[in-house]
Amino acid sequence: MVGLPSDGQLVDARGSGEPQGVSLMFQVAIERILANGTGAVSQSITYPAGFDQNVTTGGATVVLEALEKMEKASLAAVSGVVFVGNPYRIPGRRSNVDSQGRPDNRTAFGLFATHVMQANQSIPTYNEEFDQSGKVIDTCLENDVVCATDPDCTCQLASAHMSYGLMQPVQDLIVSHVLDRM
């Protein structure tokens, strides 16, 4: 998850289980953005990115909860946000894209979104106006069952979910989205 405040600061939140520092999913993209001569700086959010059955502490959770709490003026100062493999992904949003940046019209909810709906809780998310602004891209790979659940999948490991940092088209999409907003 990379948030880009309008002052050129890149903020990333690593996913569950990743070591402290820049997320492996964003490392290549951030290096390319910083090398682009934009004057941007990078800051990783420090938080416990562990696996806990009672508390979700992944990057999507941290970023979504922050966006949810922001007042309108603060949200307006955010130039762009990138999600990859968002487990709280909601279908039907403008920000939903595939690995090539094309609209993703799948009707599947993210894994954590499904869990919180089953528990009659609210899904952490950003508001509709922010979704429609074009500032957000929420990328979900075609085979990532974390961001688009598939009840027919007998997957033991969500390998697609761990491959965003290795996919050139996804890294290109991140870089393009961020640089277009700087």
Given a cut of 70, whether residue 2 has pLDDT beyond it is: no
Instruction: Specify burial of residue 118 (Cβ count, 10 A radius: 0-12, 13-18, 19+).
Output: exposed
For residue 1, name the pLDDT band (cuts at 50, 70, 90). Answer: very low
Instruction: Please tell me the total count of domains within the chain.
Output: 1
| Nearest partner of 170 among 43, 84, 91, judged by Cα | 84
CA dihedral 156, 123, 66, 93 (to 10 degrees): 90
% of the chain residues with pLDDT over 70: 85
Averaged pLDDT for residues 60-74: 88
Provide the β-strand partners of residue 136: 81
Owning domain of residue 164: 2-179
pTM here?
0.84
Which region among 21-35, 47-61, 161-175 has the lowest average model confidence (pLDDT)? 47-61
Query: Domain containing 70 — which CATH number?
Result: 3.40.50.1820
Q: Fill in the amino acid letter for 2.
A: V
Given a cut of 50, whether residue 37 has pLDDT beyond it is: yes
Taking only the tens place, the pLDDT of each residue in 68-95 is 999 888 888 888 999 999 999 999 999 9
Taking only the tens place, the pLDDT of each residue in 125-182 is 999 999 999 999 999 998 888 898 877 777 666 677 878 888 899 999 999 999 998 8
CB 44 within 8 A of CB 21: yes
Angstrom distance (rounded) from CA 44 to CA 180: 21
